[in-house]
Amino acid sequence: MNLEDDELNAMLTAVRKFADSELAPFAQERDEKKLFPTDVLARAGELGLGGIYIKDEYGGADLPRAVAVRLIAELARGDVALAAYISIHNMAVWMIDSYATDEVRAEWVPELASMDKLASYCLTEPDAGSDAASIRTTARRDGEAYVLDGVKQFISGAGTSHAYVVMARTGQPGARGISAFLVPAETPGLSFGPNERKMGWNAQPTRQVVLDGVRIPLALRLGEEGEGFTIAMRGLNGGRLNIAACSLGGASWAVDRAKAHLNERIAFGKPLSSQQALQFRLADMETSLEASRCLLQRAASALDAGTPDAVQLCAMAKQFVTDQCFDAANAALQMHGGYGYLAEYGVERVVRDLRVHQILEGTNEIMRLIVGRAALGGAA
């Protein structure tokens, strides 16, 4: 969908108002009490945020990735953890909409796009993180069904979501033996571990997903057998942009708080903002945010256009933006002095929430590996 400037500005304004009214005022309480507000997510769905870049056939907004990252960044200014869950939900729904049969799409995508139902993405396992092609979860063909067995680790929304996009091994070792499946939450044999105790992202649940003889019909396979790893990686290209957008939104909020504090706080008889050392540090922070914004838009536009360097650019953006924005948010905390360490100011929560962005959707070390190999012409 091509948007006129007025349409885009209206959309960004609506999302900003939603973040200001529904997310930001309650972010601290949700973090402290580990509240996952599914009612608020449903209201986000009313704005089209449950299927941002999903085709409009079944209720998606069908927006380009270059717009999606701007919307997600606005959400993250209100609550990084919930914006991150919405970004993961969108990635999972995109996989279902792109690779499921028309019958399955018609059944599942409308309620997922509206966020009346929620989705989770299940790739990582206890012994398979960065080496995703080594997953051990299996999907055994049994007549007109598959039987899934295994454990998935660090799954956002687990225990609350209605649909689980699961990568499982159907064939040979390595990437070519992996297939993708849609597993409904009510399927017998599907269970969940306890909610993990985490440094951040407390406003969304993170649990193991346990599959013990989970039997699903053949129709719930996404794509062809052996296509699962490709589907996972295609989904993660967008997922990496989404999580980078979350970092940009959260860091932008923290830096804005720091600027206000520097202007208000008096030390040695004058505002902190008059201190040249702090001005220089703030200049670096602003430069990092603007560079992050530009690279993120460049990568999103490449993914929209399907350019040959899109995968490399998505990896660049994920690594650069999440690193730079964590550093900027951490510097914003430092500028607050002791107040930055207090929960009521909110900056320490943003710093805790942003830290995991350098790990998930492919660690930043793996992102450097992708970029380095591409720079060397695909060298191993």
3-state secondary structure at position 377:
coil
User: Residue type at 354?
Assistant: L
Give the 3-state secondary structure of residue 118.
coil
The size of the chain, in residues, is: 380
Closest to 346 measured CA to CA, from 60, 111, 23, 8:
23
Q: Would you say 30 and 85 are in contact if contact means Cβ atoms under 8 Å apart?
A: no
Q: What distance in Å separates the CA atoms of residue 86 and residue 112, rounded to the nearest whole number?
A: 11
Gap between the terminal Cα atoms of the chain:
38
CB atoms under 10 Å from CB of 323, counted, come to 18
Q: What is the DSSP letter of 225?
A: T
Q: Which of 111, 286, 361, 365 is catalytic?
A: 361
Rounded to whole angstroms, the Cα distance separating 212 from 192 reads 11
The beta-strand segments (E) located in 225-341 are: 266-267, 270-271
Q: Using CA atoms, how far apart are residues 264 and 267, in angstroms rounded to an integer?
A: 10
7 is catalytic: no
Task: Please tell me the distance from the alpha carbon of residue 209 to that of residue 154, in angstroms, as a whole number.
Answer: 8
Residues with catalytic function: 361
